[in-house]
Homo-oligomer: A and B are copies of this chain.
Amino acid sequence: MMRLSTPGHARFSQANQFEVTFGGAEANAAVMIAQLGGDASFVTRLPNNPLGDRTVRELAARSVRTDHIVRGGDRLGLYFVEQGASQRPSQVLYDRTQSAIAQAQENDFDWTQILAGAAWFHWSGITPALSNHLPGIVANACAAARANGSKISFDMNFRAKLWNAAAAGKILAPMVRDLDLCVCGVEEARSVFHLNGGSPSDMARQLRDQFGARCVAIPQREAATAGRTLWCAALFVDGSEYRSRTYELEIVDRIGAGDAFTGALLFAMRRGSAPQEIIDFAAAAAALKHTIPGDFALVTLSEVEATAAGGKGGRVQR
Contact = CB atoms under 8 A, between A and B. Distances in A.
A195 interface: no
Interface in A213-239: 221, 223-229
A4 interface: yes
A91 interface: yes
Contact of A9 (B61, B78, B226, B252): B252
A57 B91 CA distance: 20
A18 B16 contact: no
Interface string A280-298: 0000100110111110001
B94 A318 contact: yes
A227 B250 contact: yes
A14 B294 contact: yes
A114 interface: no
Given A93-B49, A293-B9, A225 B312 contact: yes
Nearest to A94: B318
11 contacts: A4-B18, A9-B292, A49-B93, A50-B93, A57-B62, A86-B287, A89-B313, A91-B318, A92-B317, A97-B97, A225-B312
A108 interface: no
Contacts of A311: 87, 89
A291 B54 CA distance: 19
A306 to B, nearest CB: 9
Contact of A228 (B15, B60, B224, B250): B250
Contacts of A303: 88
A12 interface: yes
A314 B61 CA distance: 32
Contact of A229 (B88, B90, B221, B314): B314
Given A313-B225, A314-B229, A318-B161, A16 B19 contact: yes
A11 to B, nearest CB: 5
Given A7-B17, A224-B314, 16 more contacts: A9-B291, A12-B51, A13-B50, A13-B54, A14-B293, A74-B97, A86-B252, A86-B287, A87-B290, A89-B315, A89-B316, A91-B318, A98-B98, A161-B317, A161-B318, A226-B313
Contacts of A63: 57, 60
A211 interface: no
